[in-house]
Structure 1
Amino acid sequence: MRDVVVRPYAETDRDDVLTIFDANRADYFGAGDRDWLIETLDEPDGPAFVVAIDGRAVAFGGYEVWEHYNKALLYWGMAAPARHGGGLGRLLLLARLHHVAVHARPVTRYVTVDTSPRVAPFFLRCGFEQTAVWPEGYRSGMTMHELRFDLAKVSADELAARRDDALATVVRTLSSPDREGGRP
């Protein structure tokens, strides 16, 4: 069985996170995003996490609390392309939602994210609601979807249970012979 854990980002994860980004760049990110990621890794605006398989980071994302508003904003959120569809994104998302619910200071009600049309359906499936669509909302010209999750509608215990179910799904997926030997 593979060791799968969600843990805080560490400097030793930097190369893995940059590799994940580079592998996703053509399909999910725009020009200049790598520099922004490097800034985030150097000075995160809030807690950052990785999903690690056997010690190697295979997914990365974090959040920041907006102190003057009743919300936290998710940043990044990416998984190694070879792992897309294996549940890592859902696990990472649920771990971040639970962390916001339990640890965010000041306590906040909403978790928001802005993302591309390609990724927005993932958040909708995970219980987010769409709040706005901005044609050419990104400098790259891509449409931006804004979504939010209302923490008042679910308990921290329920989020923990969902996170744990997502972890079990990832472990089952890695154990499947269809996953090419469970490569990292």
Structure 2
Amino acid sequence: MIRSYLENDRDALIDIFKLNTPKFFDANEQKDFESYLDEYGGYYFVIEQDGKIAGGGGLKFQNDKKIVRISWDILHPDSQGRGLGSELLKYRLNWLSEHIDQHAHLRKIESWTSQVSFKFYEKFGFGLCEIKKNFWGPELNLYLMEKDFTRLSS
């Protein structure tokens, strides 16, 4: 089940973040994640499995809402590789399609990911635009991925 983020989800999501450090995230990113939840929690979605939080993922609008960034995709290690990440990404892409009238100026969707996860986004039609070495931390490079908003169905 996917649902909107609630404040009482925070501790479980931070615990999941820690379980994904250092493979997917650098420890110094935790404060950024916490700040995102505080400021943009209304655009964060939680996925549950067997009544427990398995992970989450959000959206962050940029540049006068012309760009939306897929933000803070995170899954408990025990839930990875089971299709939940795909389900969560599809949910957000569908959410954007359903709310198109509220986001008429939206032109593209970005994902700021790393070499660990960029292939996942390629499966959904995101193209690689830029790589920045050690952006997130040692050995965690930024892979900037983009997708045209008009190509949500692919």
What TM-score, normalized by structure 1, do the two folds share?
0.74
Q: Deviations over 1:91-149 (max 9, x none)?
A: 11111111122226433131101111111011111221111122233354632111012
Q: Secondary structure at the match of 1:28?
A: coil
Counterpart in 2 of 1:109? 107
Give the match for residue 70 of structure 1.
66
Q: Would you say 1:52 and 2:68 are equivalent positions? A: no
Over aligned residues, Cα RMSD in angstroms?
2.0
- 1:129 is matched with 127
d(CA) in 2 for partners of 1:89, 1:26: 19
Counterpart of 1:61 in structure 2 is 57
5+ unaligned residues in a row in structure 1: which ranges? Answer: 160-184
Aligned residue among 77, 90, 94 for 1:94: 90
Higher helix share goes to which structure? 1
* Identical counterparts, % of pairs: 26
For the residue of structure 2 that corresponds to 1:26, the secondary structure is: coil
Which residues of structure 2 form unaligned runs of 5+?
none
- Alpha carbons of structure 1 residues 47 and 153: separation in structure 2 relative to 1, 3 Å: same
1:18 corresponds, among 14, 18, 21, to 14
Count matched residues: 152
Which of the pair has more CA radius of gyration?
A: 1
Measure, in 2, the Cα distance between the counterparts of 1:70 and 1:46: 18
- Higher mean Cα deviation, 14-23 or 75-84? 14-23
Question: Partners of 2:65 and 2:21 in 1: how far apart?
Answer: 31
Pick the structure with more strand per residue.
Answer: 2
Residues 141, 26 of structure 1: CA spacing in aligned structure 2 closer, same or farther, 3 A cutoff?
closer
Retained in 2: the 8 A contact 1:51–1:58? Answer: yes
Measured in 2, the distance between the counterparts of 1:79 and 1:109 equals 28
Residue pair 1:111, 1:148 contacting (<8 A) in 2 also? yes
Q: 1:152 aligns with which of 123, 137, 150?
A: 150
TM-score (norm 2): 0.87
